[in-house]
Every structure is written in C-alpha cells, then in structure tokens.
Amino acid sequence: MSKRKMVTATMLVAFFVVFLVLAEGSHSALAIQTPMNAVSALWVTSDTTYETGRSWIEMDAAPGDRNARLRVTIQNLSNSTISGITANLLLQHPFENVTGGDVSRAFYSGSISPGANAYTDFFLNIRLGAALGEYRLKMALNYLELATGVGKTLYFLKATEVIVPVVVSSTKYMAMYGLVLSPSTTVPAGNITVSGNLLNIGKVSALNTNVTVTSPVLARPVSIIVGQVDPNVPRPFSAGVQLKRDTPPGSHVITISVTYADSMAVSHISQAEMRVTVRASETRPPTVVEKQSGILALVIQMLRDLLSVFFGLAEMPSILLQR
C-alpha cells in the first residue's frame, strides 16, 4: 500500500511539474505576443489638394524635410474588434513634430476587425543634420476592445506599445547642375555671379521654389524666387553677390540652398557648396607728375606768348587757349 501511495505521489508531482512548465511557456508566449502590430511605415504625399479620390504617392524623406507625412499601418492581431485608437509616436533625434516637440499624436475613429489593417498619419520634421538610415521609434497605442455576450456589449480600455521602423534617405527631388561662379577668383569687395540650373526629378510639381546664396564672406545673402518647377523641366537661375571688404585671402565656401514644397505643404531643401578664391588687393603707388614751380612756369609761358605775338606768329597764345 505504501508503495502504491509512493507511485501515486510521484505521478502527482510529475504532473504538477509538467503543468508548471506548460503554464510558464504559455505565460511567456502571451508576454511576447501583442494584440497590435506595426506592419509598415511609409512617407507619402499627393499631387492633388482635394480629399475625395486622392492619389497617394510614396516618397523618400531626407534631412531638412518639414511637415512630412508618415503613414503607419497597424494590424489587429487579437480575436476581438478594436476601435477608438489613439496613437502617440514617441520621437527621438532627428525627428520632431511640427511644433518642435517630441511626441506626434494621431487618432483612428473606425473599427478594426481581427486580422484587418488600418493606417494613421503622423506629421514630422527631420533635422537638417540627420544621419541616414533606419530609426526605430516607439508608438504607444490606447484602444477599446469589443466584447460581446448574451445581450451584453462591453468595451475594455487597453494599451500596448509597438516599434515603428522609420527610414531617412539621401534622396533629393530637386537637383542642381551646371553651377558656375564667375569669376572664380576675386578680391575683397569684389562682385561675382552665381548661376546654374534646377531640375525636378520627382513625380509632383515643386511649388514656392526659392534659391538662396549664403556665405560668411558675403556682404548680404541673396534670394532668388523661382516659383513652380514641374517635373523634368530645367529652370535656370542667376544672381550677383558681393564680398565683404574685410574678406581675408584664401578659399571660401559659398552655400546654394533650394527650398521648395509640394501641394501637401511638405517642405524640402537641397544644398550645394562652391568655393571662391579671394586674393589680396594690389596696392598701386600714387602717380607722380613732375611739375615746375608754379610762378616760374607762368612767367615762361607768358614770355613765349609775347614772342609769338610780336614776331608775327599765326598761333593763338596758349595762355588764352587755356582760358
């Protein structure tokens, strides 16, 4: 009897250990699995200004872009319908919201069935000195989970956190080519002409295009209003600038910046650098004119005029011609 009890006790202990292992594995699986998932994060824009039937175009976001639209697609991995999603995208360098803050908020008012997808848009600025590559941002989600029973409908407020991969690329939709500084070598306070061409290599028109020429050695920055630049249509530009009088000799950088926006008010910037060589000004000695004494020269000239008159020369005295 004692032997049977011992076997029974051993079986109970083994069963309990197996139960604990299974429970721990199930708990770990539940801890890893989240009810929501970020499927994709794409930068998008549009070439139209109306909402009905809008055609969205995927684009690349680059350092310096402002008010860029990041579309995050989320998926419902739970077994229940969810709704009333509030999403907070927690930003880190080099991203910021349109007011310079570190949180971008979005709201999705519809319902998402189990296994279905939905998207929400965030508007971000990317700092000009951003490094290229992928950034992983945290997104906090608050939502309502629908639960139905016998004659009952309940909504449970829940929260979760997902990771959103965001890519910053080097793509610039406004290309500058044929840049010329004329002359490329000058002196302090000298004048130079900056010229070149713009080419929109994107899919939508660039609006409010401006070219700005800046440098610490320029007397003042110069801005050129170009206006609308359509895709694949070259637009030339030219501007004259002047150097400061105290510009030291050497090679100096001149920055050419092009700012532009699309119809969705996404602002972009493209930049190029050129160098101007400044040489020292040549100092010329003052011109030395040999002059005789004033009184002596006047007396000699008067004598010459008198001799010319009394000896019948047909020339008009030069002293009269000078008057």
Give the closest residue to 102 by CA, choosing from 120, 122, 82: 122
Q: Sign of torsion, CA 314 318 322 323? A: negative
Residues sharing a CB contact under 8 Å with residue 191, sequence separation 6 or more, in sequence order: 240, 241, 242, 243
Q: In terms of domains, do 63 and 153 share one?
A: yes
Q: What residues make up the domain containing 250?
A: 174-278
Beta strands in 152-299 (DSSP E): 153-168, 174-182, 185-186, 191-200, 206-214, 222-229, 235-242, 250-261, 267-278
Q: Report the distance separating Cα 197 and Cα 176, nearest Å.
A: 6
Looking at residue 146, what is its pLDDT? 84
Would 4 be classed as within a structural domain?
no
Same domain for 61 and 98?
Answer: yes
Cβ(234)–Cβ(198) below 8 Å? yes
Supply the CATH number for residue 186's domain.
2.60.40.10
> What pLDDT score was predicted for residue 234?
95
268 and 172 in contact (C-beta within 8 Å)?
yes
Q: Are residues 147 and 89 in the same domain?
A: yes
* Distance, CA of 108 to CA of 92 (rounded, Å): 23
pLDDT at 289: 54
Q: Is there a single domain that holds both residue 98 and residue 187?
A: no
pLDDT lower than 70: segments of the chain: 1-34, 47-54, 149-151, 284-294, 307-323
Are 269 and 298 found together in one domain?
no
| 157 and 39 assigned to the same domain | yes
What is the structure's pLDDT at 15? 46
Whether 153 and 188 map to the same domain: the answer is no
* Structure confidence at residue 119 (pLDDT): 92
Strand extents, DSSP E, the chain: 36-46, 56-59, 68-76, 82-90, 95-97, 103-112, 117-126, 133-148, 153-168, 174-182, 185-186, 191-200, 206-214, 222-229, 235-242, 250-261, 267-278
Q: How many domains does one find in the chain?
A: 3
Q: Which residues contact 223 (CB under 8 A, 6 or more apart)?
A: 210, 211, 212, 213
pTM of whole model > 0.85?
no
Distance of alpha carbon 200 from alpha carbon 176, whole angstroms? 9
Q: Is residue 148 part of a domain?
A: yes
- Classify residue 24: in a domain, yes or no: no
Report if residue 263 sits inside a domain: yes
28 inside domain: no
If asked whether residues 74 and 121 sit together in one domain, one would say yes
Tell me: do 178 and 158 sit in the same domain. Answer: no
- Is 229 domain-assigned? yes
Which CATH number does the domain housing residue 69 bear?
A: 2.60.40
Question: 298 and 197, same structural domain?
Answer: no
The values of phi and psi at residue 202, to 5°, are: -85, -170
Co-location of 75 and 147 in the same domain? yes
Longest dimension (CA), the chain: 172
Q: Tell me, yes or no, whether 237 lies in a domain.
A: yes
Alpha carbons 208 and 226: distance in angstroms, whole number: 7
Asked whether residue 284 is domain-assigned, the answer is: no
